Amino acid sequence: MQRILGSVRFLGLVGLLAMVNATLANSEEPQVSRVLTQHEQEALTPEEVSQLLRTGNQRFMSGTLTSRDHSAQVRDAAGGQFPKAIVLSCVDSRVPVEDVFDLGIGDIFVARVAGNFENVDSLGSMEFATKISGAKLILVLGHEDCGAVKAAIDRAQLGNITAMLENIKPAVEALSSYKGDQTSANPEFVHLVAEKNIRLSMNDIRKRSPILKGMETQGQIKIVGALYDMKTGRVEFLE
């Protein structure tokens, strides 16, 4: 009984401290109420943007997200947008792209398709984001336990899904020499295909868009890939 009472007292103290901390954090840190300006966007290098995404993900993992006044940001962004990056992500509901990088309104463009592969529409969106709108980074963001990757591995067939999965098939075929269970029941194989799919998407972006390839060669943008692990919240950037 005494032990239970002790636990209650301990949890009570921890809860109280958490509340005090939250109150202090709220009162000491002003909420972000403005969005990135054109001048700020222009001053950023592709490497700096890459670094900002990494440190943002560290804040997401540690639960120290930036406090934002979304209503004020919406009003501030109404005059124009100057995002620092475009992310090509899967549609998975467990991958909230802005959140995993601790970013808000006006910070990034996000293109989404199940299996985060590029196509003519997303390539056009990337060219718009970088060449026209000044973004400095293209990030292909895959994730662990991806349903689209698993379906491609298992050669699922249904309606338009069949044609969509053709885009992920090259990643599965690239691993045909994998020694082991080549089904979606094998997490290691699913991980390897997801990673290969990201790398192939990055290569295809360079191959199919002379504009983006040229901007990368001239150092105006960087094209990078990363894999999000929803168990830890960590975004692992591929080298």
* Binding residues vs Zn ion (CB under 5 A): 90, 92, 146, 148
State whether residue 86 is helix, strand or coil. strand
Strands 222-229 and 234-237: antiparallel
Closest to Zn ion by CB, 112 or 222: 112
| Min dist. Cβ of residue 193 to Zn ion (A) | 11
> Which amino acid belongs to residue 135?
A
Q: What are phi and psi of 194, to 5 degrees?
A: -60, -40
| Min dist. Cβ of residue 203 to Zn ion (A) | 20
| Min dist. Cβ of residue 147 to Zn ion (A) | 5
| Min dist. Cβ of residue 115 to Zn ion (A) | 6
d(Cα 197, Cα 199) in Å, to the nearest integer?
A: 6
d(Cα 11, Cα 98) in Å, to the nearest integer?
A: 32
Closest to Zn ion by CB, 89 or 130: 89
Closest to Zn ion by CB, 90 or 105: 90
Find, among 102, 111, 103, the residue nearest to 212 by Cα: 111
Closest to Zn ion by CB, 76 or 92: 92
The beta strand positions in 115-205, using DSSP E, are 137-143
Closest to Zn ion by CB, 92 or 118: 92
- Kind and range of the H or E element at 236? strand 234-237
| Min dist. Cβ of residue 149 to Zn ion (A) | 6
